DNA sequence: CGCTAACCGGATCGCCCAGTCCGGTTCGTG
DNA sequence: CACGAACCGGACTGGGCGATCCGGTTAGCG
């Protein structure tokens, strides 16, 4: 790989990240190319499809989240670590429209992102179980619930952000209240792995 | 207005409602026209713009919600009525992708819808205050919070619906837990009318 | 029944955007 | 320094969709 090609690749990834963060996933490839200082053909040379580019950017963000989870696992106070993780996950999505939108599609996303996300949930599960044992989290919360509710809060927050900056913290606090132990048990089971897998297999290639 | 014109108008509204409900707001006008059994020109003769059509359909749905709120106000047990209202609001959005998407844009929607929505929130406020006085609802909940959190739950539920039907009830139950009294007070204020108005004035005509 | 104004609908326009093509440019090696 | 392979980028294509145009049709009044 020639040096200029590598440079362009980095520029494209950075530009895409910034563009998606600011304008959501519907920003045009031409805009991204312009921001990166290259032509559209150069973008498509590295990423056969716009979706591939989205995927690459998302993987970075999900990896970043995974790092935060790992840090929480090692923290002195794991419950505090988990809370901070959740807060960071929402904040990341609120300040990155593209990530927020991508995670909304979440379930049906690309294999690579999906894999990274699964790994992240698996790590989360450890923290969740520990928090439940220590009585910080309601016992009927499943790890799979977390990405769902965090994305829900983030989406509401993201829309509010331009008109009421920081309002997402209000709804994050409500979310924490919902997760506290002591409430009557949930009457509906969480989505299962099988359901998610079936949906994924079914709509491979949609959109 | 000629009889056939009236008939077509009804057909268009019905078709639009069904199409938007099933496929979201991004379904093409051509699809709607075909379902209504008319040409696209006929659609645009009644609704100058696709947005106008969306607006008309939404108004109907919001009016329907308002009726439910009115019913709750008159119910024997107002708290039970409010709960049922919230449940119905989520269910309506989960089973109507178009409505769900339209309410997500909510704040910046069209004047007519916005007006109907404001009226609905004003009515809700009565129920909220009463529920708070009776100790069913946390005291720091503002009426404006309700459409926000209800839409958030509905959106998550709508995405889950095809793969885990009814899963939204799980998150609705969590929401109710978050709204219960007894939690430490919220540290961030709710969005204000002024913020909403400013945003609305600012981006009139966007999209 | 006949006539006209109202109405209809498919073909068409203009625009946007993902993705492709090809003539020109640059890297980096010998 | 020279040369070829790798790389570049802007012009172009194709398809989709909102919106418009216009020749044909129909309602419903007199």
- Return the closest nucleotide (C1') to the Cα of B3: D27
Token couple for A59: 């993987």
Contact A149 B160 (CB under 8 A): no
If DSSP states are collapsed to H, E and C, what string results for B172-200?
HHHHHHHHCCCCCCCCCCCCCHHHHHHHH
Contact B199 A162 (CB under 8 A): yes
Residues whose C-beta lies under 7 Å from strand D? A 1-2, 4-5, 8, 37-42, 45; B 2-4, 26, 28-30, 40-41, 44, 48-51
Handedness of CA B68, B72, B73, B74 (dihedral sign): positive
DSSP count for chain A of H helices, then E strands: 10, 0
- In whole angstroms, how far apart are CA B111 and each of A126, B96, B107, B142? 48, 21, 10, 23
Using CA coordinates, name the residue in chain A closest to B162: A199
- pLDDT of the residue at A168: 98
Over residues A57-64, mean pLDDT: 95
Burial class of residue B4 in the structure, from the number of CB atoms within 10 Å of its CB (0-12 exposed, 13-18 middle, 19+ buried): exposed
Phi, psi of B43 (to 5 degrees): -65, -50
Contact A187 B174 (CB under 8 A): no
CB pairs under 8 A between A and B: 107
Name the band, by pLDDT with cuts 50, 70 and 90, for residue A38.
very high
A155-159: Cβ within 8 A, 24+ apart: A155/A93, A155/A100, A155/A104, A155/B104, A155/B152, A155/B155, A156/B148, A156/B149, A156/B151, A156/B152, A157/A90, A157/A93, A157/A94, A158/A93, A158/A94, A158/A97, A158/A100, A159/B104, A159/B105, A159/B106, A159/B107
Return the closest-CA partner of residue B12 out of B45, B36, B48: B36
- pLDDT of the residue at A207: 47
The region of weakest confidence among A34-38, A114-118, A162-166, B13-17 is A114-118
Contact B159 A183 (CB under 8 A): no
Q: How far apart are CA A23 and CA A114, in angstroms?
A: 23
Could you tell me the distance in Å between the CA of residue A7 and the C1' of nucleotide C27?
A: 13
Shortest alpha-carbon distance between residue B28 and chain A (Å): 15
- pLDDT of the residue at A203: 63
Percent of chain A with pLDDT over 90: 85
> From the candidates B139, B147, B152, B159, which should be mutated to test the interface with A, based on the most A CB atoms within 10 A?
B152
Q: Which nucleotides of D are covered by protein (CB under 7 A)?
A: 6-12, 16-22, 26-28
Over residues B28-42, mean pLDDT: 98
Contact A191 B164 (CB under 8 A): yes
Separation of CA A59 from chain center: 9
The pLDDT of residue A199 is above 80: no
Cross-chain CB nearest to B187 (options A107, A173, A188): A173
- Return the closest nucleotide (C1') to the Cα of B7: C7
The DSSP symbol for B107 reads: G
Q: How far apart are CA B143 and CA B124, in angstroms?
A: 7
Contact B186 A173 (CB under 8 A): yes
Token couple for A164: 């009421």
The whole-chain average pLDDT of chain A stands at 94
pLDDT digits (tens, 9 = 90+) for B134-185: 999 999 999 999 999 999 999 999 999 999 999 999 999 999 999 999 999 9
Q: What residues of chain B lie within 8 A of the CB of A178, using their CB?
A: 174-175, 177-178
Q: How far apart are CA B11 and CA B34, in angstroms?
A: 10
- pLDDT of the residue at B108: 67
The pLDDT of residue B206 is above 70: no
The pLDDT of residue B106 is above 70: no
DSSP count for chain B of H helices, then E strands: 10, 0
Q: How far apart are CA A12 and CA B150, in angstroms?
A: 38
pLDDT digits (tens, 9 = 90+) for B41-95: 999 999 999 999 999 999 999 999 999 999 999 999 999 999 999 999 999 999 9
Could you tell me the distance in Å between the CA of residue B56 and the C1' of nucleotide C5?
A: 28
Please tell me the pTM assigned to this model: 0.95
B150-154: Cβ within 8 A, 24+ apart: B150/B86, B150/B89, B150/B90, B150/B93, B150/B175, B151/A156, B151/B93, B151/B100, B151/B103, B151/B104, B151/B106, B152/A152, B152/A153, B152/A155, B152/A156, B152/A171, B153/A152, B153/B90, B154/B89, B154/B90, B154/B93, B154/B94, B154/B100, B154/B103
- pLDDT of the residue at B207: 47
Separation of CA A136 from chain center: 24
């Amino acid at each position: 790989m020639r040096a200029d090609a590598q440079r362009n690749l980095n520029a494209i990834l950075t530009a895409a990240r910034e563009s998606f963060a600011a304008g959501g996933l519907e920003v045009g490839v031409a805009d991204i190319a312009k921001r990166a200082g290259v032509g559209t053909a150069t973008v498509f040379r590295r990423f056969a499809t716009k979706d591939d580019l989205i995927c690459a950017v998302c993987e970075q963000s999900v990896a970043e989240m995974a790092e935060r989870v790992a840090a929480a696992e090692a923290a002195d106070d794991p419950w505090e670590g988990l809370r901070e993780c959740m807060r960071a996950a929402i904040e990341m999505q609120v300040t990155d429209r593209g990530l927020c939108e991508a995670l909304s599609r979440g379930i049906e996303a690309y294999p690579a992102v999906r894999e990274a996300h699964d790994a992240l949930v698996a790590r989360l599960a450890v923290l969740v179980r520990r928090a439940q044992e220590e009585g910080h989290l309601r016992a009927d919360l499943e790890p799979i619930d977390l990405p769902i509710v965090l994305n829900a809060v983030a989406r509401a927050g993201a829309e509010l952000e331009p008109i009421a900056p920081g309002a997402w913290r209000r709804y994050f606090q409500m979310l924490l209240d919902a997760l506290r132990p002591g409430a009557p048990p949930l009457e509906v089971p969480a989505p299962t792995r099988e359901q998610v897998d079936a949906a994924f297999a079914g709509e491979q290639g949609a959109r």
